[in-house]
Structure 1
Amino acid sequence: MLIRKSRRSYPLLNIASLFINRPETCEVRIEPDTAAGGMSFHQCRLCGYVSMSRRGAEGHLAAAHIDEYFAKEESPVEAPSGNFMCVARCGLSGILLGPPNHHSFQEKIRDVHRSRYSHMPIDEYRRHIEMVRDPALIEAWKQEYVKQTRYRLRESSGAPSAGPMKRAEAEAWIAANVADTQIAEVRKAALRADVARTLDDRPLLRSVEEAWNREVKFPRSLLVALRGALVHRYHMHIFRAGKGGYFVCSIRPVPLEPQHAVEAIRDVLTYLRDNPGSTREKMLAALRPGVSEGDPAAKEVLGHLAWLIERGHIIEFFDGTLSVPLGRSEESSPAGSAVPPSGEDAAAKSAQA
């Protein structure tokens, strides 16, 4: 972990932002409102996807995980013949469904509905179908039609070998042989945020998006979870600097009064107490004027500084600024407050824990 390796202190809010920017690292928990009574959800055990209906969960299982049980094969067939004046197109996905006067039209509608929009009543889905009179699209559909996709059970599925299946047959096999073991009925569900933001049930998706947008504005829930995990699982220390900003460090801040230290260390402590937010360069220029960092006198000061940082008597912030710890921390035992690293508060001489 970078925090432990660098021994620097990082803003807790910045760490939370890293998680917000990577939804796959965040967990969303879904549970019904108390007024919902005995409401339950149907959750995919393979990826955590949640649906309000068993049918929706089965549709997801077939659409998202069919490749785990079946291998796809392209099977050429004869080009469709007939007089086609228009072609139907799914207004939601852009998929060409075929001419309404072709025998495959209704089956294609059912396939697309089952694989992508099973959460939606089929009559509602039909309202999203548009008829397009475009010779180029009709020709494109013909080219797609001659390459029929068939599904063959993988050996890893553990099922007896079977011949190639149509999409509907493969989905029926999953519903009959996989759904009972891979779909769980639950009262509460936990799933990755990136999966939660792809849910098909509109009420669930709306609730997830509202909660996510609140966290993007200010990650209150994430901060609470992070503080607990960083302190109790990773044994980090959290302290406040300035006007309420929290920082995380692998070293517990421990105040050391300058008068209790030897002269060389006392000089470093006194300077940083009087000049919070200074950098190593500024400190060296003040304590050893005209001396370069490679000079033995400078190395001696930097050696004392390294010892003080390692012991927690000096805090080195993420931007290289230095400060002395004051007061007590909130999550860890003694000593967690500090003068802030930079900005308007950098001139402050104390901070509240």
Structure 2
Amino acid sequence: FLMVARCKQTGAILGSPTHHSYQKTLREHHARTCPNAPFDRFKADLEMVREPEAIEAWKKSMSTRTEYAPKDRQEGEPERLESMDAARGFLLAFRREATVISRNQVRFPGRLLAEMPPGPLRDCVRYALDRQRDFPLDTANGIRGRLRKEGFHLYKKGSKGITYACGVRRKCRDPKSSFSDAMQKIFDCLDKTSGIQGKDVALAVAGETADDAAKARVLADLNFLIGEGYIAKLHDSRLFAQPVLSTQAQAKEEAANEDATEEK
């Protein structure tokens, strides 16, 4: 043997291209280590090694082989299985009930998808993943349950709006409730121009000529309203004032949002 193939990814010596088991070894190694890569690309990336040490190491490894023997062998079953594929085929043919469990649904980490060998099962998982990427209702419902369990509060802006998760329960301004003049100015500012940041609110409410102490008082009132749930602060620091709704109307809106979300 003049050369042996070596996998660049794992460093494993796969044998000489002229050996009768070479193609079989390539297929098994490809299915075990990089099933997502096309076989032709995997084969093209192999490194041909001519060092005598590598060739001798491979020849030594070929002097022994692993065989599998069935436990509790029954009449009509083979005594020896010469490869992993043969052992897998034996289990499916003679020990299916003991090795394969049928389930309508299974849950496993998404990272395992890359390790699954090509076949119908992997295709089904890929189809389900692509479907969720197009319309992630099941994913959203699963995340929603986890967020509620961790103490987050969820609400939607409008019947078809975005669902927001917040650590503070939302409070809408009741028409009968009243706020201090300073806080009302903050609401007026956000009702007029929503989506601005805290520094812009402080500047608009306190005035451009106000000193730092006046702006700090506005920010203190703003943080209080955020903590109470009257104003929503998004991840990018944009601010939105919650709408003016009666307590009953707010409860009905939240219930309608919940029902609409679960039914879609």
Provide Cα deviations, 1:197-232, integer angstroms capped at 9, x if missing partner: 33214212222222222333443321121112111x
From 300, 313, 326, the equivalent of 2:230 is 313
- Do the aligned partners of residues 267 and 184 (structure 1) sit closer, same or farther apart at CA in structure 2, a change above 3 Å counting? farther
The question of 1:190 aligning with 2:107 is answered yes
What TM-score, normalized by structure 2, do the two folds share?
0.61
Provide Cα deviations, 1:75-131, integer angstroms capped at 9, x if missing partner: xxxxx5xxx6x98999xx99754253xxxx34555544445448xxxxxxxxx8xxx
The question of 1:276 aligning with 2:223 is answered no
**Alignment check: 8 A CA contact 1:237 1:249 kept:** yes
Gaps of 5+ in 1: 1-79, 119-127, 152-164, 338-351
Provide Cα deviations, 1:23-52, integer angstroms capped at 9, x if missing partner: xxxxxxxxxxxxxxxxxxxxxxxxxxxxxx
Q: How do residues 1-353 of structure 1 correspond to structure 2 at under 5 angstroms?
A: 80=1, 97-100=15-18, 105-117=19-31, 137=48, 140=50, 144-148=54-58, 168=66, 185-188=100-103, 189-231=106-148, 233-241=149-157, 244-257=161-174, 259-291=177-209, 295-326=212-243
What TM-score, normalized by structure 1, do the two folds share?
0.47
- Alignment coverage as a number of residue pairs: 212
Deviation at 1:284, TM superposition (A): 1.9
Counterpart AA for 1:282 = D
Between the aligned residues of both structures, percent identity stands at 20
> Secondary structure in 1 aligned to 2:128?
helix
**Alignment check: 8 A CA contact 1:264 1:301 kept:** yes
Counterpart AA for 2:102 = R
**Alignment check: 8 A CA contact 2:198 2:239 kept:** yes
**Alignment check: 8 A CA contact 1:272 1:324 kept:** yes
Q: Which residue in 2 is equivalent to 1:27? A: none
Measured on the aligned residues, the alpha-carbon RMSD in Å equals 4.6
Which protein is richer in helix relative to its size?
Answer: 2
**Alignment check: 8 A CA contact 2:196 2:239 kept:** yes
Counterpart AA for 1:220 = L
- Do the aligned partners of residues 88 and 298 (structure 1) sit closer, same or farther apart at CA in structure 2, a change above 3 Å counting? closer
**Alignment check: 8 A CA contact 2:171 2:230 kept:** yes
Alignment partners' CA distance in 2, 1:215 and 1:190: 15
- Do the aligned partners of residues 212 and 150 (structure 1) sit closer, same or farther apart at CA in structure 2, a change above 3 Å counting? farther
Which protein is richer in strand relative to its size?
Answer: 1
**Alignment check: 8 A CA contact 2:4 2:54 kept:** no
